[in-house]
Structure 1
Amino acid sequence: MRSSGKVYLLGAGVQDRGTLTQQALNLLQQAEVLIYDALVEDDLLQYVPPHCEIIDVGKRGGKPSTPQGQINQLLVKYCQQGKRVIRLKSGDPLIFGRAREEVEALQEAHCAFEIVPGLSSALAAPALAGIPLTDKYLSGCFAVLSAHAPATLNWQALAQIDTLVLLMGGRNLPQIVEHLQNQGKFPSHPVAIIQNAGSPDQQTWVGTLADIVEKTAGVALSPCIIVVGEVVSLQNTFQSPQSSPLAGKMILVTRAADQASTFTTLLEDQGARVIEMPTLEIRPPSSWEGLDQAIAQLPQYDWLILTSANGVEFFFNRLAALNQDIRHLAGVKIAVVGKKTAKFLQQRGLQPDFIPPNFVADALIEHFPASLPGQKILFPRVETGGRTVLVEELSHQGADITEVAAYESGCPAAIDPTALVALQQGKIDVITFASSKTVRYFEQLLSEAVGSEKIPHLLENLCLASIGPQTSQTCRELFQRVDVEAAEFTLEGLTEALVNWANPEKP
Structure 2
Amino acid sequence: MNDRLGKVYLVGAGIGSVAHLTIRGQQLLSNAEILIYDDLVDPQLLDLAPENCLKLNVGKRGGFPSTSQNTINQLLVTFCRQGKQVVRLQSGDPSIFGRVNSEIKVLIQANCNYELVPGISSALAAPFLAGIPLTDKQLGCCFTVLTGHKPDLLNWKVLAELDTLVILMGGKTLPQIVYKLQRNGRSPSEPVAIVHKGGSPQQEVWISTLGNIVDQVRGVSLSPSVIVIGKVVSLRNMAFFYSPLVGQTILVTRAAEQSNQFSLMLQQQGARVIEMPALEIISPSSWNGLDDAIDKLSSFDWLIFTSANGVKFFFQRLKTLGKDVRALAGIKLATVGEKTDCILKKHGLKSDFIPPDFVADSLVENFPECLSNKKILLPRVEVGGRDILTKKLKQQGAQVLEIAAYQSRSPNQINSKAWKALQQGKVNIITFTSSKIVRNFYYLIYQQLGKQAPYEISSILSKIIIASIGPQTSKTCCELLGRIDLEAQKYTLKGLTEALVERIGNGQD
**TM bracket (short chain):** 0.7 to 0.9
Rounded to whole Å, the distance in 2 between the matches of 1:409 and 1:75 is 41
**Partner of residue 121, structure 1:** 122
The one-letter code matched in structure 2 to 1:469 is: P
Structure 2 stretches of 5 or more lacking a match?
Answer: none
Q: CA distance change for structure 1 residues 54 and 400 in 2, over 3 Å: closer, same or farther?
A: farther
Answer yes or no: is the 8 Å Cα contact 1:24–1:116 preserved in 2.
yes
Instruction: Compute the displacement of 1:250 (Å).
Output: 4.2
**Distance (whole Å) between structure 2 residues aligned to residue 421 and residue 109 of structure 1:** 40
* Alignment partner, residue 209 of structure 1: 214
Cα distance in 2 for residues equivalent to 1:233 and 1:319: 59
| 1:115-165 CA distance string (max 9 Å, x none) | 332221133222222345567558975442153xx6x84489499647665
Q: Label 1:35 to 1:179 Cα distance change in 2 as closer, same or farther (>3 A).
A: closer
Question: Please, which moves more after superposition, 351-360 or 338-347?
Answer: 351-360
Which amino acid counterpart does residue 320 of structure 1 have in structure 2? Answer: K
Is 1:483 paired with 2:481? no
> 1:356 deviation in Å?
1.7
Moved more, 9-18 or 182-191: 182-191
Following superposition, the deviation at residue 411 of structure 1 comes to: 4.4
Alpha carbons 1:426, 1:458 under 8 Å: kept: no
Cα distance in 2 between the residues matched to 1:131 and 1:423: 41
| Cα displacement (A) at 1:39 | 2.9
The 3 A distance-change label for structure 1 pair 298 and 108 is same
CA positional deviation for 1:274: 5.1
How many angstroms apart in 1 are the aligned matches of 2:156 and 2:360? 71
Partner residue in 2 for 1:288? 286
Aligned residue pairs total 484
**Distance between the aligned counterparts of 2:461 and 2:65, measured in 1?**
36
**For 2:344, what is the secondary structure of its paired residue?**
helix
SS at match of 2:205: strand
Q: What TM-score do the two structures reach when normalised by structure 2?
A: 0.76
Q: Which amino acid aligns with 2:218?
A: V
1:181 shift after superposition: 5.2
Residues 76 and 86, structure 2, Cα contact 8 Å, conserved in 1 = yes
The correspondence for 1:469, drawn from 468, 471, 474, is 471
Checking the alignment, whether the CA contact within 8 Å between 1:144 and 1:166 is kept in structure 2 is: yes
* 1:24-43 correspondence runs (5 A): 24-25=25-26, 34-43=35-44
Q: Which residue of 1 aligns with 2:91?
A: 90
TM-score (norm 1): 0.76
Query: Could you say which residue in structure 1 is the equivalent of 2:460?
Result: 455
- Measure how far apart 1:387 and its partner are: 2.2
Q: Which amino acid is 2:120 matched to? A: L
Structure 1 pair 295/74, CA: closer, same or farther in 2 (3 Å)?
farther
How big is each residue's C-alpha offset from its partner over 1:244-294, in whole Å with a ceiling of 9 and x where there is no partner?
Answer: 57475747362321336334555566x544525243333315612564464
Paired residue for 2:417?
417
Cα distance change, pair 401–251 in 1 and its aligned pair in 2 (3 A):
farther
The within-5 A match list for 1:6-155 is 6-25=7-26, 34-44=35-45, 53=53, 55-61=55-61, 67-80=68-81, 85-133=86-134, 142-145=144-147, 147=149, 153-154=152-153
Report the Cα offset of residue 296 of structure 1: 6.0
Deviations 1:384-419 (A, max 9, x none): 443232233334444443434312142473347379
- Asked whether the 8 Å contact 1:37–1:89 carries over to 2, the reply is yes
Q: Tell me: CA distance 1:196–1:423, structure 2 relative to 1, closer, same or farther (3 Å).
A: farther
8 Å CA contact retained: 1:476, 1:482: no
For residues 160-309 of structure 1, what are the structure 2 equivalents within 5 Å? 161=160, 165-168=166-169, 173=172, 176-177=174-175, 180=178, 192-205=193-206, 208-214=213-219, 216=220, 222=223, 224-227=224-227, 229=229, 234=234, 237-240=236-239, 246=244, 248=246, 250=248, 252=250, 254=252, 255-259=254-258, 261-266=260-265, 271-273=269-271, 275=273, 277-285=275-283, 287-289=285-287, 291-292=289-290, 294-295=292-293, 298-299=296-297, 301-309=300-308
* Inter-partner Cα distance in structure 2 for 1:32 and 1:295: 46
Kindly, what percent of the aligned residue pairs are identical? 40
1:96 aligned counterpart, secondary structure: coil
Question: In the superposition, relative to structure 1, how do residues 489 and 141 fare at CA in structure 2: closer, same or farther (>3 Å)?
Answer: closer
CA contact (8 A) 2:247 2:270 kept: yes
Instruction: Structure 1: give runs of 5+ residues left out of the alignment.
Output: none
Separation in structure 2 between the aligned mates of residue 112 and residue 415 of structure 1, nearest angstrom: 33
